[in-house]
Amino acid sequence: MKTRITELFGIDLPILCGGMVWMSTAPLVAAVGNAGGLGLLCGGIYTAETLAAEIDRTRALTDKPFGVNVPLLWPPAAELMDVIIEKNVKVVFTSAGSPKKFTPMLKDAGIKVGHVVPNAFLAAKCQGAGVDVIIAEGSEGGGHVAFDEVSTMVLTPAVCDAVDIPVIAAGGIGTGRQIAAAFALGAEAVQIGTRFIATNECEGHTNFKQKILDAKETGTVVTGKKFSPVRNIRNTLSETVLQMEGEGKSANEIMNYIGMGRTETASVKGDVDNGNVQAGQISGMIDDIVPVQALVERLIQETKECIERLGGLFKS
Ligand SMILES: Cc1cc2nc3c(=O)[nH]c(=O)nc-3n(C[C@H](O)[C@H](O)[C@H](O)COP(=O)(O)O)c2cc1C
């Protein structure tokens, strides 16, 4: 499958695994690359030193391209960029901040740059800042979501209409039908998160994966809507936070209650009642844990079948 995105990144398939804290570590990122897609390490848990080690660990598992996602609010973001350049990583996706600061220096180093956006206005601004691709991330997606709450169904075509550079659709994609839909909406690749957690190679805790398998499409909720919206699977933590929000508690009180490390509590330690189980609405359609290679083959097969079926709609 050739699109502007596969050409740009030198990959066979337009399927990307997004950066995910504690989840998109070397084994998953390498497996996605080996399957023909592109995986992104998640810079948001690393220091310069630990990111360098994770890049080496990834290279030991694959000789295929991979990237790093750097949330710009992450305090060591500037140091991570230096490591990425030194280590000759070829793709960086930035999120949660303005791409203006780092895009010129990354591009000078020959790195392809993408930025994650929640609306068409920001997409046009990112194009102006010189990024190579836009990742349009809809509100169905897992993890931190935007205040805007625009769904992938509306966001993708709106962003595609606002820019000339290629667009990657993200949020709520976990089957070939959804990949075909993303292409119909104008995207030239998809970035998948939650579906890739339910794979053998993902190093996230088994309890976290089980929460995804057990969830229905109504099983996630956005907490912190007024100060730091995060889509996560309903549990003791999310219910408590929702209750505090309902009672009108301040952002500070709620943040103090949550404290630090709740994502690690769920993802690494496996306490999925008191930890933050970041996952998207697509959890409701995920019912198996499979090797990445098998998942990617299935996604491509489903996409083909769907596009063939649609092609037949006007023949009769
Ligand atoms: C557990 C988890 C952690 C995530 N962490 C990050 C992150 O650190 N930076 C980022 O840009 N996106 C992050 N995301 C978003 C993903 O990269 C991806 O865009 C999103 O999961 C796509 O939606 P989906 O989950 O419906 O596939 C995270 C998503 C999940 C599920």
Cβ of 263 less than 6 Å from ligand 1: no
Cβ of 42 less than 6 Å from ligand 1: yes
**φ/ψ bin of 97: left (φ > 0), alpha (ψ from -120 to 50), beta (otherwise):** left
Report the separation in Å between the CA atom of 205 and the middle of ligand 1, taken as the mean of its atom positions: 16
Backbone angles phi, psi at 229, to 5 degrees: -70, 130
pLDDT digit string, tens, across residues 271-300:
999 999 999 999 999 999 999 999 999 999
- Going from the C-alpha of 42 to that of each of 47, 70, 80, 194, 252, the distances in angstroms are 11, 7, 11, 14, 27
Bridge partner list, 39: 17
Q: What is the percentage of the chain residues whose pLDDT exceeds 90?
A: 98
Question: Which DSSP state fits 59?
Answer: H
Q: Which amino acid is at 92?
A: V
pLDDT at site 315: 83
Q: Around 24, how many Cα atoms within 13 Å sit in the side-chain half-sphere? A: 29
Kindly give the pairing relationship between strand 230-233 and strand 143-144.
Answer: antiparallel
Report the separation in Å between the CA atom of 315 and the middle of ligand 1, taken as the mean of its atom positions: 39
Report the separation in Å between the CA atom of 242 and the middle of ligand 1, taken as the mean of its atom positions: 21
Cβ of 192 less than 6 Å from ligand 1: yes
Cβ of 170 less than 6 Å from ligand 1: yes
Bridge partner list, 68: 41, 92
What is the rounded average pLDDT of the residues 1-8?
A: 96
- The pLDDT-based confidence of 1 (bands split at 50, 70, 90) is confident
305: pLDDT strictly greater than 90: yes
pLDDT digit string, tens, across residues 161-200:
999 999 999 999 999 999 999 999 999 999 999 999 999 9
The residues near 257 (Cβ < 8 Å, ≥ 6 apart) are: 240, 241, 244
pLDDT digit string, tens, across residues 142-170:
999 999 899 999 999 999 999 999 999 99
pLDDT at site 50: 98
| Nearest CA owner, ligand 1 atom 5 | 20
The whole-angstrom separation of Cα 40 and Cα 26 is: 9
pTM of the model: 0.97
pLDDT at site 236: 98
pLDDT at site 96: 86
Cβ of 11 less than 6 Å from ligand 1: no
